[in-house]
Each structure stands twice: as C-alpha cells, then as structure tokens.
Amino acid sequence: MSKIIGKPLDRVDGKLKVTGEAPYTADVPIENLAYGVIFQSAIAKGKVLQIETSTAATAPGVIDIITYQQTPNLVKIPFFPTPENLPTAQDDNIYYNGQHLGIVIAETLEQAEYAASLVKISYEAAEPTITIAQAEIFEPESIFFGIMPGKITRGDMASGKTQAEVLVEEIYTTPMEHHNPLEPAATLAMWTGDNLTLYETTQGISATQRGIAAVLNIPQEKVRVISQYLGGGFGCKALLRSHTILAAIAARQVQRPVKVVLTRSQMYTSCGYRSPTQQHLTLGATQDGKLTFINHIGTSLTSIFDDFVEPVGAPTTMMYACANLQVKYRLARINTITPTFMRAPGEAPGMFALESAMDELAAALNIDPIELRLRNHADIDPHTQLPWSSKSLKQCYQQGAELFGWSLRNPVPRSMRDGDFLIGWGMASATFPSNSGKASVKVEMLANGEARVKTGTQDLGTGTYTVMTQVAAEALGLSSQQVQFELGDSNLPNAPITGNSITVGSVSPAVHQAASAAKQRMMQMAVADPNSPIYGFPVADITVESGKIFSQQDPSKQDSYSEILRRHGLASLEVTEETSPNPESQKYSKHSFGAIFIEVAIDELLGQIKIRRCVGVYSVGKILNCKTARSQVIGGITWGIGMALMEKTVIDPHQGRIVGANLSDYLIPVHTDIPNIEVQFIAEHDPHVNTLGTKSLGELPIVGVAAAIANAVYHATGKRIRDLPITPDKLI
C-alpha cells in the first residue's frame, strides 16, 4: 500500500513560493548585471533600410547596441528544438511584425528601455499576408516535424458515405490564442571564459543547452542551463527563442552578465501562439447513431519560413470506432512568427469540433449525447488496431453523469429555465496521448540518513518537485521531509523536456528505480555487515519506514541509513539509474481519457453566459498526488472555459500587429468566471504504460471543455455556435 504516493502532500516548494523566496529566473541575484531590451520590427513584411543607433548609443547608461548586422553568424538547426529559420534575424528581411532586430544593453532596465525607444528603424514595407482568407493555402506532406503525415485515411470513404443515413457537415472555427503564463520569458546569460551559463525560463533545459550550443556553434559541454522555478509554460517556453540567443550574444559582447525579460506585450510576438483553425468536419452515421465515416479537414496558419500545423485531427483518428476516415491538413502561410504548441495542441481545438459535431449528431438523431458516444465507443484504437493500455472512458461518462445529475436533463433545447435565465447542460469527451521518454536519476544517501534526489527535469508550477519527492520517499522508506528533490540544471542527469504531458510518465519511473536501487544497496550493505543489528537477515525481510530499518521477523533489530554509511566510512552513497519506455508498451495504444459536464445559465436578453456547474471525471492511471492532480485539472478546465468564452488574439489584418497585446484586452477567466469545479479520478490500473502506471494529465483537462460549453449553450438557447469564443454578440 502506498503510504506517500497518491497522498495530498502540500507542495514541497509552496512555502518558498508564497514567501517570495523561490528564485524564479528573473530574480536570480547576479552581480554586475547589465540589462538587455530587445527592439522589434514595426512592420510585418519588407526590408530594413536602416537602423539608426547613434542617438540611442549616447543615451545614459548604454553599454552597447547590437543589431542583426552585428550578430555573429548563427547556425541553422533543425526545427526541433528551435524553428528552422534563424530564431533571430540575420539579414534585412522582415517576415513579421515584432521580429527581433537587435538588443540594447545598458546599466539599468530603465536606461535600456529608454535607449531602445531611441533606436530609429526605417523600412521598405510590403503588403503582408495576415489572415487565412488572404493567404494561399497548401497541403503539407507531413506535420509535426515530419512525424505525422499531412493526410491520414483508413477504410473506404466512398462506402462510408453510401452507408450514411444522416450527415453532420459543418465548419468550426477557433481563434488565435496566446499562452500568457504568469511569468514572462526571461534569460540571464553569463560567460566565464568560453563557458556559457543561462538561467532560463524553459520547459526543456537539455533542449535549450543543445539548441543554444548548436546555434552559437560551441560545444554543448560549454553550456549550462538552469531553470529551477517556472511560472507556467503551456508550450510557449518549450522551444529555444530569439531573446535567449540575443541575451547570450549580448553577454559575450559586453563581457558582463545580461538579463533579458520579455515584456507582457513582447510575449505576444516572441514565443509563438496557437494558430486559429478552420475545421471542415463531416460525420456520417446510420439512423441508430453508428458512425459510418468521418472527414476532418483542418486549416491553420504558419509563418513564411516554417511549417507548423495545429494537428486538430489527431484525436479524431482514435476517438471513435469508425471504419472509414480521412484527416487532412491545410496550411496558410502568413506574416507572423511561427505558431507553436499550446496546451493540448491539436486536441484542444480539434475536440471542440469533433465533440460539437457529435452533439449535433445526437440532436439530429434524438439520441442522448452520452448514449451516442457509447454506441461509437472504441474498444480498441480504431486507427492502429492496438489494444488500449488502459481505458476507463465508459466509467468517466457514467460517474460524471451521476455526479452531474445528467438523467434529469430534458433534451429539448430551451426547455430548462431558472427565472430569466435559460439553463443548458452539455457534455463532451476528453482525450490526450500518454507518452514518455528516457530519464536518468541520481540518488545520494546522506550521512544524516536523508536523501537527495537529482534529475534534470523541470517544474512548470505543476508540482514536479512534490510528486517526485513522494515517489522517492516511498521507494526509500523515508518521510517526504527526509527527501530533497533537485531539478532544473543541465548538469544533473538527463530528463526529457516538460511538454506533451510526459514528465510524470518519464521521470517518476526513473526516480522510483534509482531510489529502490539505493535502498537495496543500503540493505545489502547492512545485512552483510557483522556490526549491523540486522546482520544475516535476508534482505527480503527488511523494511524501511520513516527512515527506520528493521527486520519484520524481529522489529527490535533496527538499523538506519546514517549508521550504515557511518560503519562503512562513507560520507554519502550515490546510485544513478536510467529508465526508458518499455518496448512492450508499444504494443498498446496509450491515452488518457475523461468526460466533462457543464451547466450554463444564459441571460436571454443580454446573451451573457455564466458557467454554473462543472464536473470533470478523468482516467489517468495512477495519481501520484491527488491534490496537485486536482489542481492540474482545475487549471485545465479553467483554460477550457477561457477558450470557450473569452480568449481571442486580435491581429490587425493590414499591419500584422497584435491588438491589445496585454492582459487587460486579452481576456482570460478570473475567479468570478469560474464556478466550483468538481473533479474525480477513476481508480485505474495500467500495467503497460510504465512501472508506476501513471498516464498523462497536464493537457487532458482543457480538452472537451469548449465543446461541452458550446453544447450546453445549444441546449439552453437552441443556437449552435461553431465559432469560438462564444461571446454574447453571437447569442443575441
């Protein structure tokens, strides 16, 4: 029985954070720091004629100004981990509004900002392409760095169409969205000789280390990347970005540490965005609700210089049992920075379309939306034909329906009221792939009997420190207070990028294995040592609890980690273990699932939508900490509510400038927008995904929320809104 794993342990870094002591990147105290401010293109397409820096150079405190003309030749590196184009300008071509053109370095931030305002740039402007409507559309051969084809088919679409007795064919659209982590991107770059240290807001310290080394053409061993606390990432801190490269170049040039913190406004132009999507989705079904074909064609934006597809059809291929399917991507090349991953890339907008369409089909056939989904439940992965490693989606529907009171729903639109408010109940499914990577972990047993556990993973604020402490403590037989978990330094053993919801599934098996191995080593040393009270006992008989080591046969015989080390004359003992995804797990399709139920109340005259109730039930394998897991879900559902009702980046179609690049014009939910969110997890044992049986969690709960809300809005009003966000103007 788990004693620590799964328990609602408070965040081990919680106190540091609330007291302001946790050193976030921009807070790391460095002596002799200079400040860098980046200046950017004010046009979206054309050429730079001149960058006039002479006035700025004489402004107070200015140390240096580096324009793209003075940056050293940078090396192009493949898309992952950084865009194929040089992430920072190397010539006079302008590809998007906000393109970084150089950096001012000054003694203080204010001096650097002032001087940057004096940099005068003249351009030869050309007419940019900004919207999907303005752009030429093409069909990419492959998507997501070539790992997925641009077109996916199965079965026989023609026969699926012949079998169809009813069709839902609609276009669903979602807007451009920005990540807006609370903590903006920041870099603190310092050189010691030819060694570069970066304090960096990154989801991937190793990827940043590799990326910056490649771009600057220096050996990877010369670069150290540190990222100990992050105020959110959500995908916008996943790739190496221009500001990081400029900070490194600037620090080398001025021979001083340089700090660059992007402004909130620069966060809209410098770290990617979620592409708007136009999704042409057709469902064909028989009268009894069996899907006969699905055709999902997604159009999204990409930059002039990169191909990035928002893979909206990824969940469509595996979600329902349907023999005939086509998923196809189309891209529109426009003058913006390349779009990027944003929480559940593909699944978040894709499932808005699919789960809205399923609701439309349910309404057309007069079948309950849950019943329709059950009739199309995929018992195996319909695309790969592999069995699921585990799947409890039916239990999610059932438990969610029970908690929500779904059976009381009158399916007729506009049939439920509360005073002036129309009431609507909607639901949707959620899914997200459960992947993992290789990770290496070092455990140090310390003289005081405690343990230090180290690996180069990241904590985006999700609770990595906490859950890994729990896993290590449990495996070592220590209390969570006796384990210190260290992460966020590329000098530590390697762990994968924190993205695609893979951290727990990748790192926790390695932590568990390394901690178990360390315990085993200590036990073996003890039972082989005539001076140990447990000498001669079989290792299998030895238990460790809260640091006490004893024989189960004779609990009076006790030893301790510190005594074992002391008797062996060791100040500490180190064990390093590496784990990789089990090849056996490739025989299974690995996904997390969930079901989301939402009640909306809509003021009929004003079109105002209030989310009243929300129930989310998820199956994500083993939960390492029920409190941080619940927090993840609340965060994800909150994002989903924002996506459904508020979020939308407005871009000027003439200048390609983002309008309202701040947190007052770009709306996200605040407390009053979010109701009580009831979260449940299905107890699920998955023996295939990894040794601990954990599945992906972080990105799953945003998925389906926008559809559940759109479905609830339809139920309340009889109006089907297929264009996000669902704002009052669309309802009146």
Binding site for ligand MOS (CB under 6 A): 203, 233-235, 238, 341-343, 345, 499-500
Q: Cα(303)–Cα(315) distance, rounded to whole angstroms?
A: 24
Length of the chain: 732
Q: How many CB atoms lie within 10 A of CB 683?
A: 10
Question: Helix 242-254 to helix 205-216 angle, to the nearest 10 degrees?
Answer: 60
Q: How many CB atoms lie within 10 A of CB 131?
A: 14
Instruction: Look up residue 447 and give its DSSP letter.
Output: T
Minimum Å gap between C-beta 499 and ligand MOS is 3
Question: Tokens for 469?
Answer: 């402490």
For ligand MOS, give the closer residue by CB, 432 or 618.
Answer: 432
For ligand MOS, give the closer residue by CB, 80 or 234.
Answer: 234
Q: Which helix (H) or strand (E) holds 149?
A: strand 148-149
Residue 508: helix, strand or coil by DSSP? Answer: helix
Minimum Å gap between C-beta 607 and ligand MOS is 32
Q: How many CB atoms lie within 10 A of CB 698?
A: 28
- Of the listed 355, 450, 684, 699, which one is catalytic? 699
Q: Cα(120)–Cα(99) distance, rounded to whole angstroms?
A: 15
For ligand MOS, give the closer residue by CB, 345 or 349.
Answer: 345
Q: Which whole-number Å values give the CA distances from 161 to 158, 290, 294, 375, in the listed order?
A: 5, 13, 9, 19
Radius of gyration of the chain (CA): 27
Q: Which residues contact 399 (CB under 8 A, 6 or more apart)?
A: 617, 680, 682
For ligand MOS, give the closer residue by CB, 235 or 315.
Answer: 235
Minimum Å gap between C-beta 618 and ligand MOS is 17
Catalytic residue list contains 699: yes
Question: Tokens for 580?
Answer: 């990789």
For ligand MOS, give the closer residue by CB, 83 or 345.
Answer: 345
Q: Which stretches does DSSP call E strand in 504-649?
A: 542-545, 548-551, 558-560, 572-579, 591-603, 609-619
Minimum Å gap between C-beta 331 and ligand MOS is 19
Q: How many CB atoms lie within 10 A of CB 379?
A: 10
Question: Tokens for 247?
Answer: 């900070």
For ligand MOS, give the closer residue by CB, 234 or 485.
Answer: 234
Minimum Å gap between C-beta 267 and ligand MOS is 15
Minimum Å gap between C-beta 469 and ligand MOS is 23
Q: How would DSSP label each residue in 681-725?
A: E-----SSS-TT-B---SSGGGTTHHHHHHHHHHHHHS----BSS
Question: Tokens for 204?
Answer: 């991937």
Question: Tokens for 5?
Answer: 């794993």
In sequence order, the β-bridge partners of residue 42 are none
Q: Which helix (H) or strand (E) holds 330?
A: strand 325-333
Question: Tokens for 213?
Answer: 């080394």
Q: How many CB atoms lie within 10 A of CB 570?
A: 13
For ligand MOS, give the closer residue by CB, 345 or 477.
Answer: 345
Q: Which residues contact 683 (CB under 8 A, 6 or more apart)?
A: none
For ligand MOS, give the closer residue by CB, 147 or 605.
Answer: 147
Minimum Å gap between C-beta 503 and ligand MOS is 10
For ligand MOS, give the closer residue by CB, 437 or 533.
Answer: 437
Minimum Å gap between C-beta 540 and ligand MOS is 41
Minimum Å gap between C-beta 8 and ligand MOS is 25
Question: Tokens for 95?
Answer: 């590809």
Minimum Å gap between C-beta 200 and ligand MOS is 15
Q: Which residue is nearest to ligand MOS (CB)?
A: 235
Q: Are 342 and 274 in contact (CB under 8 A)?
A: yes
Question: Tokens for 572?
Answer: 């500490």
Q: How many CB atoms lie within 10 A of CB 115?
A: 25
Question: Tokens for 639?
Answer: 């994002």
Minimum Å gap between C-beta 706 and ligand MOS is 16
In sequence order, the β-bridge partners of residue 108 are none
Give counts: helices (H), strands (E), the chain.
Answer: 16, 32
Minimum Å gap between C-beta 235 and ligand MOS is 3
Task: Please give the single-letter amino acid code of residue 653.
Answer: P
Closest CA relative to residue 373, chosen from 364, 362, 381:
362
617 φ/ψ angles, rounded to the nearest 5 degrees: -120, 130
For ligand MOS, give the closer residue by CB, 160 or 499.
Answer: 499
For ligand MOS, give the closer residue by CB, 112 or 239.
Answer: 239
For ligand MOS, give the closer residue by CB, 314 or 363.
Answer: 314
Kind of pairing, strands 451-454 and 483-486? parallel
CA dihedral 686, 688, 690, 693 (to 10 degrees): 10
Residue 345: cis peptide before it, omega within 30 degrees of 0: no
Annotated active-site positions, please? Answer: 699
